[in-house]
Amino acid sequence: MDILKLLFEPYIFIPLVFPGLVAAFLLLLIIIWLERKIAAKVQLRYGPLYVFKPLGGVIQTIADLLRYLFQEPIVPREADKLAFLMTPVFLFGLAYLPVVAVPISPTYYAFRSDVSLLIVMALTTLAPIFTVLMGWSSNNKFSLIGGVREGYLVISYEIPMFLSAISMAILYKSLDLVEIAEAQKGLWGVILNPLAAINMLLLMYMSTSKFPFEIPEAESEIVAGPYTEYSGIIYGLVMGASYVKLYVLSLVYSILFLGGWNPLPINDPMVAGAMLFVKAFLLVALGAFLRAVYPRFRIDQAISIGWKIAFPLSLISVVISLLLIMGGVSLVVK
Amino acid sequence: MISSGERELELLIGPQHPASGHMRLVAKVDGDVVVELRPNIGYVHRSVEKLAEVKKYLQIIPLVERPSLADTTANNLAYVMALEKLLGIEPPERAKYLRTLLAEINRIHSHLYGLGIHGVMIGSSTAYMWCFGDREPFLELAQELTGARLTYSYIIPGGVRRDLPAGLGERAERVLRYMENRMRDYFNLYFNNPVVRARLEGVGVLSRHDAINLGITGPNLRASGVAYDVRRAEPYAAYPELEFDIVTEEAGDSFARVMVRVREIVESMRIIRQVIRKIPEGPILHESYEKLIPPKLRESMKQRGMVKFPSVFANLRVPPGEAISRVEGGRGEVVFHIVSDGKLSPYRMRMVTPSFRNVILFEHLTRGVRVADIPAIYGSLDYFPPEADR
């Protein structure tokens, strides 16, 4: 009983169970299946079907995971072995680490900080470093190009994404995610500052290489980019990392723009958490759906989107927030 | 890796690469810019020309189909046309129409094949699946006509193997109407997709002058504004009696090459409708060959609308001489040159395929483009390595 109680302590429950590791893992299993299923629907196919047919092959991803587990992970002779083997672990860990600062209800969080938005945003910027390292350590030309592409993309999406998030912080006059969510009891952020919302959504998909920005691992150009030399479960980890990163960013996005856990029918942490999870899940699913719609941009086009479109838009959205504040929109709950 | 003082990185794209096909592209890149790209061909050379010298004339029909898998009718037709010139026979009218029908069905599904591969090369798996899915009705149509899905061997000296099945006209009309509806979806989701436009427009521009000088053929030539089509320049089969336009685009970029293929699909559908409407009654095999078939077999053959070759055909002897024939296939002009010395096999058979004539574009179009443009240009050429290597 004590153990169960301990499990439901926020500082354990949030990072390990929900919205942390277990939830992320479940989402990973479902979203990869869903992505294939959605794409199949658009493309007039069945998609995964045969593993557990009654539910349309929903556990296909588990079968794939088992296959990854038993596949021999091959380490190239010329690779930098330590970096090669450690980067997937760091990549996955860092992709899901920001979740510790995400609250799931007004009263339920691992820790409360005045600057939790900054903590989350800062932690999400760490993972790409390991993608670049991965490209370098594989000692493969395609991996190298993929790593460099990732590096170029990072510098073009990171600044506007940060600015878009900050513009909402200006609007809510807080960097605390709990306060930001509570401030949206009435109007959601997406209505107050739609420009920032659209901009951040675009950049979120760009940062997790969803189509049309699936550039670092563009298959027809550079095989699998930084992941070219990876196989077995370490490939499973790197493949999962970008989904998990998208999931964490979607949680933050839901809190910033989609009212977080609002509207809240009953004030229970789990209901609030479920509310948040559903919103984040829909955002991840939208990202998965884009695969069926868009081809991929060229790297120079993506970079110019980052600098020439997203960057000015993020500056404008900061101005919009400032104007709204000066216009006397009061959202702060104290 | 790069040693000091060197700026260029040599990339070996293929033959083990998701988008290389059966070939290797040796790319020298400076940052993201391609300095030089050399196609390294010959990985799937099957020595069709040499094999033809030891095979009998009828055995060569399936052989010449194999290299161009998606575009078999063009090779089949071109070879048989050259053979007929040597034999000095002309197929009956109905057979000519049937040849045209199959050639156009084949052109449509060959173009869809090319468009689909191009789609997945620039990252649109939907275009790939749609094109390959929508090839299926046409493959089934061809199957109903010939009995095979891809390697038809339908066209034989003096005619065709099978007559038009009853009711194929209506079914073809249904397929064509389906495809016309689908075309709208293709434009909404793929051809007018801003990302597709951004990736293809202005990429790999081939000027009219260069296209002519390099000897480019097929849709790639017409995308540069040259209205050249063998069906018009040197009409064969039933084409002189049919109305159709030669599709050209002016831009000469990857998108123009895609658009030429798309509009040619529409033209081909127009031709198929005309063929079905205009097809004359009559025999499907030249009468001098029909006479060789035993009377009993001839009767059942006429009833079932299928030709079973009499055994004397296995040792078909062709008068000495040489003949050349040209056919407009899906990917471009196919040329066959047969030299006969009166024996059971040709003395020499030369087979010029469109892909081999277009392979020079890899080097020509990719100078100074981005790495990501390589597949965008490759796919737009509808280049098929086995066809080029033969």
Residue A296, in any domain of the structure: yes
Question: Which residue do the tokens 């009435």 mark?
Answer: A186
The residue of chain A with its CA nearest to that of B124 is A295
CB atoms within 10 A of CB B262: 18
Count how many Cα atoms sit within 13 Å of the Cα of residue A282 in the half-sphere of its side chain.
Answer: 8
Within a domain: A331: no
- Distance separating alpha carbons of residues B193 and B184, to the nearest angstrom: 12
Q: Does residue A116 lie in a domain region?
A: yes
Q: How close, in Å, is residue A322 to chain B by CA atoms?
A: 33
What's the confidence (pLDDT) of residue A334?
39
Each residue of B161-198: b (16+ CB within 10 Å) or e?
Answer: bbbbeeeebeebeebbeebeeebeebeebbbebebbeb
Given a cut of 90, whether residue B307 has pLDDT beyond it is no
Which uninterrupted H or E stretch holds B100? helix B93-121
Q: Which band of pLDDT confidence, cut at 50, 70 and 90, is reported for residue A17? A: confident
DSSP three-state, residue A14? helix
Cα–Cα distance for residue pair A242/A205, rounded to 1 Å: 10
Quote the number of domains for chain A. Answer: 1
- Both structure tokens of A33: 């299946």
Task: Say which residue the tokens 């030669």 belong to.
Answer: B246
Encoded tokens for A207: 């940062």
- Phi/psi of residue A142, each to 5°? -65, -40
Instruction: Summarize the confidence of residues B166-195 as an average pLDDT.
Output: 89
Instruction: Give residue A236's pLDDT band: very low, low, confident or very high (50, 70, 90).
Output: confident
Share of chain B above pLDDT 90, in %: 27
Q: What is the ipTM of this complex?
A: 0.84
Averaged pLDDT for residues B124-129: 90
Measured between CB atoms, which of A42, A214, A222 is closest to B126?
A42
A92 lies in a domain?
Answer: yes
Nearest to B76 by CA among B59, B93, B62, B90: B62
Question: Which chain A residues touch B17 with a CB distance below 8 Å?
Answer: 223
pLDDT at B351 over 50: yes
Residue B324 confidence (pLDDT) above 90: yes
- Average confidence (pLDDT) over B183-191: 89
Q: What angle do CA B267, B268, B274 make, to 5 degrees?
A: 95
**Which pLDDT band, with edges at 50, 70 and 90, does B139 fall under?**
very high
Single-letter amino acid, residue B338: I
Under 8 Å CB pairs connecting chains A and B tally to 85
**Which of B6, B11, B121, B126 is the best substitution to test chain A (most A C-beta atoms within 10 A)?**
B126
Highest mean pLDDT among A75-79, A172-176, B204-208: B204-208
pTM of the model: 0.88
Residue B339 has what pLDDT?
92
Sign of CA dihedral B283, B284, B288, B293: negative
* The pLDDT value given to residue B257: 92
Nearest-CB residue to B32 (from A42, A219, A300): A300
* Cβ-based neighbours of B54, under 8 Å, separated by 6 or more: B345
Q: Which of A170-174, B16-20, B295-299 has the lowest mean pLDDT?
A: B295-299
pLDDT digits (tens, 9 = 90+) for B24-67: 999 888 888 898 899 988 898 988 999 999 988 888 988 998 88
* The predicted structure's pLDDT at residue A311: 92
Whether residue B125 and residue A301 make contact (CB cut-off 8 A), yes or no, is: no
Closest CA to B326 of B214, B215, B226, B237: B237
Are B221 and B228 in contact, with CB atoms under 8 Å apart? yes
Percent of chain A beyond pLDDT 70? 98
pLDDT band for position B1 (cuts 50, 70, 90) = low
CB-side neighbour CA atoms (13 Å) of A291:
23
**What is the structure's pLDDT at B106?**
92
Cα A256–chain centre separation: 14
* Cα B128 from Cα A117, distance rounded (Å): 41
Interface of A with B (CB under 8 A): 39, 42-45, 139, 141-142, 145, 211-212, 214-215, 218-223, 291-301
- Minimum CA–CA partner of A294 in chain B: B124
Q: Which residue(s) pair with B39 in the sheet?
A: B25
Structure confidence at residue A182 as a pLDDT band (50, 70, 90): confident
Q: How confident is the model at residue B264 (pLDDT cuts 50, 70, 90)?
A: very high
pLDDT at B255: 92
Determine the residue among B371, B373, B377, B378 to mutate to test chain A binding: the one whose Cβ has the most chain A Cβ atoms within 10 Å: B371
B301 Cβ contact list (under 8 Å, min separation 6): B293, B307, B308
Worst-scoring range by mean pLDDT, A4-18, A72-86, B195-209, B241-255?
A4-18
Q: How confident is the model at residue B108 (pLDDT cuts 50, 70, 90)?
A: very high
Q: By three-state DSSP, how is residue B111 classified?
A: helix
Q: Is residue A332 part of a domain?
A: no
Backbone phi and psi for residue A49, each to the nearest 5 degrees, phi listed first = -145, -40
Residue B348, phi then psi, degrees to nearest 5:
-155, 140
* Mean pLDDT across B71-95: 90
Residue from A315, A321, A317 nearest A171 by CA: A321
The answer to whether B20 and B345 are in contact (CB under 8 A) is no
d(CA B84, CA B91): 8
What 3-state DSSP class applies to B158? coil
Q: Residue B36 belongs to what H/E stretch?
A: strand B33-40
Q: How far apart are CA B25 and CA B179, in angstroms?
A: 35
The domains found in chain B, sorted by start residue, are: 9-389 (1.10.645.10)
| Cβ neighbours for A248, distance < 8 A, ≥ 6 positions apart | A24, A95, A96, A98, A99, A102, A120, A124
Residue bearing the bigger pLDDT, A165 or B5: A165
- Res. A333: pLDDT tops 60: no
Say whether pLDDT at B93 is over 70. yes
With 80 as the cut, is the pLDDT of residue B314 above it? no
Record: contact B1-A222, CB cut-off 8 A = no
User: What is the span of the domain harbouring residue A113?
Assistant: 2-326
Cβ contact A220–B121 (<8 Å): yes
Residue A331 pLDDT level (bands cut at 50, 70, 90): low
Does B273 or A270 have the greater pLDDT score?
B273
